[in-house]
Amino acid sequence: MKPESSVIFFPCKDIEETKAYYTNVLELPIYKDLGSTVWFDCGYGYLAFVYYGPDRALATGQCISFNLPSIEDVNEMYKKIQTRPVIGLKGAPQHHPRFPVYSFFFSDPNGYTLEYQKTVD
């Protein structure tokens, strides 16, 4: 049986800061708010953050990629993101020689790498 959607959980250091960032900066709607866990609706699945508290280390090395329909949409999102309080914007959108992707990267308040991308042929 094929699942109808998926959810990926990530730990976070401050649930309120994370909630504000993903709703205000990235404009993702909240699907579920369970207090210490919040789910964001990404269209074809869900991204959820769980408060781990100050004594539990956050994982590293993840990249949360949001797939957009076109290169033009990536460029438009880049312009929009530049007007918002983003962390560590890592340059303009570009084609990556190692992967068939046109994208740009920045970070969230938890230190996770975020990417808006369009897969290209």
Q: Is the dihedral of CA 96, 21, 69, 31 positive or negative?
A: positive
Determine the pLDDT at residue 59: 61
Residue 2 has pLDDT above 80, yes or no: no
Judge contact between 114 and 106, C-beta under 8 A.
yes
- Whether domain 1-55 has CATH 3.10.180.10: the reply is yes
Stretch(es) of the chain classified as CATH 3.10.180.10: 1-55, 60-121
> Mean pLDDT across the stretch 24-28?
94
Q: CA 105, 10, 59: angle at the middle one, nearest 5?
A: 80
Q: What is the CATH number that goes with domain 60-121?
A: 3.10.180.10
53-97 pLDDT, tens per residue? 777 676 655 788 888 999 999 999 999 999 998 888 999 999 988
9-20 pLDDT, tens per residue? 899 989 999 999
The total of other beta-carbon atoms located within 10 Å of residue 93's CB is: 20
51 vs 105, residue with greater confidence? 105
52 vs 116, residue with greater confidence? 116
Q: Which residues contact 121 (CB under 8 A, 6 or more apart)?
A: 100
The reported pTM is: 0.76
